Structure formats: structure tokens, C-alpha cells
Amino acid sequence: MIINLYHHKNSIKENGFTVINNIFSEEEIKKIGEVIQNIDTSGETFRKLEDLFAIRQFLKEIPEVNDLIFNENIKTIIKEIFGEQYFVVKSIYFDKPEKSNWYVAYHQDLTISVDKKFEIENFGPWTTKQNQFAVQPPLDILENIFTIRIHLDDTDEHNGALKVVPKSHSNGIYRPETIDWSVETEAICSVEKGGVMIMKPLLLHGSNRTTNGKKRRVIHIEFSDKGLPEELNWSEKLN
């Protein structure tokens, strides 16, 4: 069981991220991998490229994986670090293959997934991908979100571990092109297989191409405790 979550809670508050290893056993990771391998990937929420395979609305598309993901350790993290009232609002599965040249430049996660497009003050700009609506909400909603990234493989700087700018989550909307590297530093978030990285979406983050011939599979889940204006609903709300 996890010990000393207080330290991790402080790290997220101060630096915008933390890494906790040994959250899933070898057996649990194997079972999750098997469920993913056996799915029908023809639907429009599946994105297949040579460099990347992604499943949007992952927990909705593959409900049989939910019990495996929400083990006692994850439930404890949600309760102790996020709070009792937090629920899932977005989930994506990423598979970066062994020879992936997929490179992600520094960015913040600035949108939320909602059920429809509805013009509301302070919500925008809007985007639509594969019949899914995403919108940039007011800052207080973004600041309240936590993201858990579950690693199904050992991940370091050679196979696409996230690189982040510590503390950048507390600067509001921060354009990557304005990063002053004489002031800022970069950290690489290496995570062991079965470990998690927890981050705030406003943390500047990116990832490099894979250079060591090892794949990187990650389940990305976002949590919030905020309601939306009554005209909108979170598209993936799960308690």
C-alpha cells in the first residue's frame, strides 16, 4: 500500500507533478494489457498511425477495464490527494510503438471534453475531433483538474517519458514560446511499469521521440470536482 501521500500532494501543489511507483502489480498490468489487446479498434474514437495508437473516451469504450484500473491504490490517491468529491472527466489510452518518431512539443492541456457545443461566456475556443467537443473553460476549472498517467511500460527519456517545466502550472495560461530557459528548468519524469505520474494540466509538458526501441503505453485520466454551466455536461463523467 502507498505510504506518505502527503509528500506527493505537496509536490503536485508546488511543482505541478509527482511520480509514485508500485501502484499496480505485474499481474494487474498484464490483465489491463490483455483487455486492451482484445478490443475492436474500428470505431471513430480510435486513432491509428504508424507512430501512435490512441483510444479516446477510453473508460467509456472499454468499461471492462474500469475495475482493473481503479484498484485500492488509485482510489486512495484520488481520495487523499485530490479529494472525496473528484470524478473522472476524460480518459485516453496512448500507445507509442517501439520505432515511434512521435514528438510532442511543450504545451499545456487547455481543453475539457463536453457533450455538445453551446456558446457560453468565458468558454472558448471550441474544437471538434471525431464527433467529440472540446472547449477551453475558465481558468478556475482548469486549475482544479488533476491528471493521472498510468504507465504500462518502463518509461524514461529514451522512450517518450514526459519532460516538464516544474512550477509552470502556477503561471496561468503560459505560451510555450515565451519560456525563458535562463530562468526555467526541465525535468524528465521517468516512471516504472506499474507506476503513475500525477500532474496538473497547466504544467508545461512535452515528450521526445523514442530512441531505444522500447514502446510506451500510458492511460491518461483526468479528474475534476467542478460542475459545468447547466447547458453543458462533461462528456465522460464517471464517479
Q: Could you tell me if residue 64 is inside a domain?
A: yes
Residue 137 lies in a domain: yes
All three cell numbers of 222, joined, read 483526468
235 inside domain: no
pTM: 0.94
> 124: which residues sit within 8 A by CB, 6+ positions away?
135, 136
Q: Specify the CATH number for the domain of residue 141.
A: 2.60.120.620
Say if 215 falls within a structural domain: yes
- Backbone phi, then psi, for 93, in 5-degree steps? -110, 130
**Number of domains the chain is built from:** 1
141 found inside a domain = yes
The pLDDT of residue 31: 97
Residue 231 within a domain: no
Residues 6+ apart with CB under 8 A from 160: 96, 100, 102, 207, 208, 209, 210, 216
Residue 183 has pLDDT above 80, yes or no: yes
Partner residues linked to 92 by β-bridges: 56, 220
What mean pLDDT comes out for the span 136-150? 98
The mean pLDDT of 147-176, rounded to a whole number, is 94
Looking at residue 45, what is its pLDDT?
A: 65
Answer whether residue 56 shows pLDDT above 70: yes
The full 3-state SS of 67-95, as one line of letters, equals: HHHCCHHHHHHHHHHHCCCCEEEEEEEEE
Residue 193: per-residue pLDDT? 98
Q: Is the pLDDT of residue 210 over 90?
A: no
Domain that holds residue 132: 5-38+45-224
pLDDT given for residue 136 in this prediction = 97
What is the structure's pLDDT at 1?
60
Would residue 230 count as lying in a domain? no
Is cis: bond before 125, omega within 30 of 0? yes
pLDDT at 15 (0 to 100):
98
The residues pairing with 162 across neighbouring beta strands, listed in sequence order, are 207
Query: Range with the lowest mean pLDDT among 137-141, 161-165, 171-175, 189-193?
Result: 171-175
- Report yes or no on 162 lying in a domain: yes
Q: What is the pLDDT of residue 131?
A: 77
- Band of residue 49 on the pLDDT scale cut at 50, 70, 90: low
Q: Is the pLDDT of residue 41 over 90?
A: no
Q: Summarize the confidence of residues 8-27 as an average pLDDT.
A: 98
pLDDT (0 to 100) of residue 108 = 97
